[in-house]
């Protein structure tokens, strides 16, 4: 379906056909049976899922790996049987610290004894992926993945804001060139395996999304204005498994997340304008819900049957949406909705029957997941882009100036510790093996009580 036909969500199927014929367009709304309130019509460039594409072994991270965005359980919940530091500072509980070249806000990807990060340098026109030794922080290798003209970015964004993903044999990174989004796969020694253009792309703020791993695929979005795409590529070959257009006339900056909710595997994406779900096996649209905002950046959180969607700009809200629906579920599946104190960039955390959400301006709430009732709320006196991480009964959260908070999880607020580093933090921390791996605006820290 041509982008001129995307308004078929708000007009009748017959009217859509008339408009398409008038402009000489192929109306896939008619061909696929789309009508008002039904499934979004398929795009003219849609690619049906390749048969037999799931031919690779399942990805099996180690117990102390953090292989992709939001961790092995895609929920920002770290292993409970570890004791990361409660307190730290410039000279306290810092096992090692390394200065990073370039600029990047992506969370560290950890597999085995390796840490994978990306960075971009606008003055040099270079985007690179690097590998560091997990024990020492020493650089093992660095591979340039792009050299050339780089697009404009929001001052708070970077050319490496998305997190790298790893399947044990390859690392995957999505990056923006002057006019497109590409995904590159390197082997764990830094050698290029494939590098493919995903979609043409141009936005005001710049790309910031991470990729999701599902079976033999890596999945990513390119939500540019009027030409948004959701694409699955084969992990080994980079070939397109399926590709679908996403309706909407606005940009969005959120990452896709694949999880099993309400008894089925789903790809969830917040924005633009709506929260949507797709079948990760085929790319087929499953359901959509109005909101939470026109522009969104956060990733959904979830529990057994519900997803929690937060955003954005100019509206702000947090929605609890039952994930067993079909088509437009706006009027049938919203369990509860918060007010304008919801966040834009930080993603929520769901655990133990509570939803924890912090706004960019530092207003944090703990909601009862079932009812939406606010258990507690606090202004944390800072601004935040990083997302909260749970370890056992502790929540770790960092602000944009380097303040690190440790809070008690549960329905009663209790601040356990407040710490400070010299640099601001945009990335979300990784907590594995009793250590906190934290990327600041200039350095990578390993925070540990080890000597």
Angle made by CA atoms 72, 76, 80, in degrees to the nearest 5: 80
Considering only CA atoms, which of 212, 204, 284 is closest in space to residue 252?
204
Query: What pLDDT is stored for residue 92 in this prediction?
Result: 96
Q: Let me know if residue 3 belongs to a domain.
A: yes
Provide the 8-state DSSP code for 163: P
Domain count, the chain: 1
**Do 217 and 49 touch, CB atoms closer than 8 A?**
no
pLDDT digits (tens, 9 = 90+) for 46-103: 788 888 999 999 999 999 999 999 999 999 999 999 999 999 998 899 999 999 999 9
In a domain, 12, yes or no: yes
Which residue, among 92, 88, 93, 87, has the nearest Cα to 416 in the 3D structure?
A: 87
Q: Looking at the domain assignment, is residue 27 inside a domain?
A: yes
Judged against a pLDDT cut of 70, whether residue 139 lies above it is answered with yes
Q: Give the pLDDT of residue 45.
A: 58
Position with higher pLDDT, 67 vs 422: 67
CA pair distance 16, 5, nearest whole angstrom:
7
Is there a contact between 104 and 119 (Cβ–Cβ < 8 Å)?
yes
**Smallest Cα–Cα separation from 248: which of 208, 268, 275?**
275
Round to whole Å and give the CA distance between 241 and 49: 5
* 112: pLDDT strictly greater than 80: yes
23, part of any domain: yes
- Residues 177-204 have a mean pLDDT of 93
Q: What's the rounded Cα separation, in Å, for the pair 255 and 449? A: 33
Distance CA 397, CA 385 (A): 10
Between CA 148 and CA 165 the distance in angstroms is 24
Backbone angles phi, psi at 210, to 5 degrees: -95, 170
Structural domain range at position 2: 1-44
Residue 21 and residue 4: Cα distance in Å, rounded? Answer: 12
Coil, strand, or helix at residue 30?
A: helix
Task: Quote the DSSP letter at residue 347.
Answer: P
- Find out whether the peptide bond into 77 is cis, omega within 30 degrees of 0: no
> Model confidence over 368-420: pLDDT tens digits?
999 999 999 999 999 999 999 999 999 999 999 999 999 999 999 999 999 99
341 band by pLDDT with thresholds 50, 70 and 90:
confident
Q: In this predicted structure, what is the pLDDT of residue 118?
A: 97
* Model pTM score: 0.89
Which run of H or E residues covers position 20?
helix 13-23
Write down the mean pLDDT value for the chain: 89
Q: What angle do CA 170, 389, 116 make, to 5 degrees?
A: 25
* Those residues with Cβ within 8 angstroms of residue 183's Cβ, 6 or more apart along the chain or in another chain: 172, 173, 174, 175, 195, 196, 198, 211, 218, 220, 233, 238
Residue 447 included in any domain: no
Per-residue pLDDT at 33 exceeds 70: no
Looking at residue 29, what is its pLDDT?
32
Contact by Cβ (8 Å): 94, 445: yes
192-219 b/e with 16+ CB inside 10 Å = b?
ebbeeebbebbbebbbbbbbbbbbbbbb
Name the more confident of 29 and 104: 104
Q: Out of 109-113, 219-223, 264-268, which region has the weakest mean confidence (pLDDT)?
A: 219-223
- Residues with Cβ within 8 Å of residue 428, at least 6 apart in sequence: 70, 76, 107, 386, 387, 389
Q: What is the mean pLDDT of residues 358-365?
A: 95
Q: How far apart are CA 373 and CA 380, in angstroms?
A: 20
Strand partners, 279: none
CB-based contacts of 401-405 (< 8 A; 24+ apart in sequence):
402/440, 404/88, 404/438, 405/380
Other C-beta atoms within 10 Å of 23: how many?
A: 11
Which secondary-structure segment (H or E) carries 303? none
Decide: helix, strand or coil at residue 3: helix
Tokens 């000279």, located at residue:
91
Sign of the dihedral defined by the CA atoms of residues 102, 108, 111, 114, in that order: positive
Mean pLDDT of 144-160: 91
The average pLDDT across 190-205 equals: 91
Q: Which residues contact 340 (CB under 8 A, 6 or more apart)?
A: 315, 316, 317
Residue pointed to by tokens 């057994």:
304
Which alpha helices (H) appear in 94-146, and where do they start and end?
none
Bridge-based pairing state of the strands 363-368 and 403-408? unpaired
CB of 285 closer than 8 Å to CB of 237: no
User: What integer pLDDT is reported at residue 337 of this predicted model?
Assistant: 96
Q: Is pLDDT at 340 greater than 90 in this prediction?
A: no
pLDDT band for 1, please (50, 70, 90 cuts).
Answer: very low
């Amino acid at each position: 379906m041509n982008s001129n036909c995307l308004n078929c969500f708000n007009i009748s199927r017959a009217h859509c056909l008339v408009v398409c014929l008038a402009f000489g367009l192929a109306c896939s709304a008619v061909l696929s049976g789309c009508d008002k309130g039904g499934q979004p019509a398929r795009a003219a460039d849609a690619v049906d899922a390749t048969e037999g594409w799931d031919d690779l072994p399942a990805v099996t991270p180690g117990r102390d790996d953090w292989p992709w965005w939001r961790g092995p359980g895609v929920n920002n919940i770290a292993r409970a049987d570890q004791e990361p530091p409660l307190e730290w500072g410039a000279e306290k509980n810092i096992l090692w610290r390394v200065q990073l070249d370039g600029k990047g806000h992506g969370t560290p990807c950890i597999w085995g004894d390796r840490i994978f990060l990306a960075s971009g340098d606008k003055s040099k026109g270079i985007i690179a992926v690097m590998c560091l030794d997990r024990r020492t922080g020493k650089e093992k290798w660095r591979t340039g993945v792009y050299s050339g003209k780089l697009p404009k970015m929001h001052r708070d964004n970077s050319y490496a804001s998305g997190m790298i993903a790893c399947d044990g044999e390859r690392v995957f990174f999505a990056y923006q060139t002057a006019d497109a989004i590409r995904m590159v796969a390197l082997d764990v020694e830094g050698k290029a395996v494939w590098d493919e253009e995903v979609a043409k792309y141009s936005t005001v703020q710049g790309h910031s999304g991470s990729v999701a791993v599902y079976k033999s695929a890596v999945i990513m979005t390119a939500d540019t204005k009027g030409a948004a795409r959701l694409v699955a590529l084969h992990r080994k070959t980079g070939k397109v498994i399926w590709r679908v257009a996403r309706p909407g006339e606005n940009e969005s900056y959120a990452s896709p997340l694949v999880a099993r909710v309400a008894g089925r595997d789903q790809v969830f994406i917040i924005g633009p304008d709506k929260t949507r779900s797709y079948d990760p096996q085929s790319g087929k649209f499953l359901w959509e819900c109005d909101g939470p905002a026109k522009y969104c950046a956060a990733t959904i959180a979830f529990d057994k049957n519900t997803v929690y969607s937060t955003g954005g700009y100019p509206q702000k809200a947090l929605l609890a949406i039952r994930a067993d629906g079909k088509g437009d579920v706006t009027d049938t599946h919203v369990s509860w909705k918060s007010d304008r104190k919801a966040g834009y960039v930080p993603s929520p955390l769901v655990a133990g029957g509570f939803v924890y959400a912090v706004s960019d301006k530092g207003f944090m709430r703990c909601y009862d997941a079932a009812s939406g009732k606010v258990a507690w709320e606090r202004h944390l006196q800072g601004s935040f882009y990083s997302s909260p991480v749970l370890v056992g009964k502790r929540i770790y959260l960092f602000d944009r100036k380097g303040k690190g908070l440790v809070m008690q999880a549960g329905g009663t607020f209790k601040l356990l510790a407040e710490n400070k580093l010299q640099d601001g933090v945009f990335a979300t921390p990784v907590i594995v093996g009793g250590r906190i791996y934290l990327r600041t605006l200039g350095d990578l820290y390993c925070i540990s009580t080890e000597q």
